[in-house]
Amino acid sequence: MTEITLQNIRIYAHHGLFEEEQEIGCQYEVNITVRFDGTKAETDDDINGTINYQEIYDVVKEEMMKRSKLIEHVARRIIDSLNARFPQIKYAEVALSKINPPITGDVEKATVRLTSEK
């Protein structure tokens, strides 16, 4: 089983329950892990046997640009889009963090983690 991880993807987006959050936006951090059978890439040195990192990033960016109230909803869209675009994925995990969430107290980030397994 091959595993690809993209760590600390930083994207400025406009998600949140409060109107101000959706207007002003804030910084988000996304971590993605996918697992699949990458034997062809491992043995044949062939890009067609793997999942292109740029394409994973493109899915993340596309879904992050669609406004939502909840980061749980955004994370679910990212996983669903990855699974639809790359049917060879056997396992996907997304951790989506809102940096400096608007809550009382000193909190660096709030993170939602979702997984999908086939």
Let me know if 69 is a catalytic residue: no
Query: Starting from the edge strand earliest in sequence, which strands make up the sheet with 109-117, in order?
Result: 2-13, 26-36, 89-99, 109-117
Q: Residue 48 carries which DSSP code?
A: G
Residues written for the chain: 118
Q: What distance in Å separates the CA atoms of residue 86 and residue 104, rounded to the nearest whole number?
A: 40
Q: What distance in Å separates the CA atoms of residue 15 and residue 9, rounded to the nearest whole number?
A: 16
Q: Catalytic pick from 40, 61, 66, 98?
A: 98
**Residues with a known catalytic role:** 98
